[in-house]
Amino acid sequence: MLLGFECQAVLRDCLGQYDYYCFLEDDLILHDPWFFVKLDWFTKQASDLSLLQPNRYEVSAEALTCKTYIDGNLAPHVTAPFQRVQERSQLQGNFLGLPIVFQRALNPHSGCYFLNANQMEHWANQPDFLDRDISFVGSLESAATLGIMKAFRVYKTAPEQASFLEVQHFGNGFLGLIGQQVDLVR
């Protein structure tokens, strides 16, 4: 359950060798060939202290909806001990001539993170780096999200532009909950 922390140690041990340092849970799929171009563009606009997280989604031809983004907002008190979402709460930019809005994430979890070399070095130099703190939801969520939430201003695209940066969650475990344990929100 703490394997994600071991990944952080490997990333730290490889400092200075790569352009990007990435962590992905084993059930995530990247489809966007512009993924790293978008991350680089965002960081150049917002600074290395701002981190853009992708929106996770699932697809199914048999569910009530074909595509659903699965990481909705958490209650503000859940992440308040670790981040100040009021600080630079929204950023706006133009990508390929189109306006895009980024919001501080009330649910920064994506099951992954992608840090450029400067960001990885910054994070590895934080006093709480690799402290194995599991106080955010559980051990898996903490390993994937808590450290970056403490070290960076974490953003996701506004919900109406969620597809700007996204990653597919394999299967349809969350989609299967819609209409049963989770209400369908339109």
pLDDT score of 60: 80
pLDDT score of 132: 96
Residue tagged 């569910």 (tokens): 63
Phi, psi of 59 (to 5 degrees): -130, 150
Q: What residue spans define the domains of the chain?
A: 3-177
Q: pLDDT tens-digit profile of 116-157? A: 999 999 999 999 999 999 999 999 999 999 999 999 999 999
pLDDT score of 75: 94
In angstroms, the CA 95 to CA 59 distance is 26
Q: How far, in Å, are 9, 47, 55, 88, 130 from residue 95 at the CA level?
A: 34, 16, 17, 19, 34
Which portions of the chain are predicted below pLDDT 70? 63-65, 174-186
Sorted by sequence, the CB contacts under 8 Å of residue 63 that are 6+ apart come out as: 172, 175, 176, 178
pLDDT score of 1: 81
pLDDT score of 182: 46
In angstroms, the CA 184 to CA 8 distance is 36
Residue tagged 């150049």 (tokens): 44
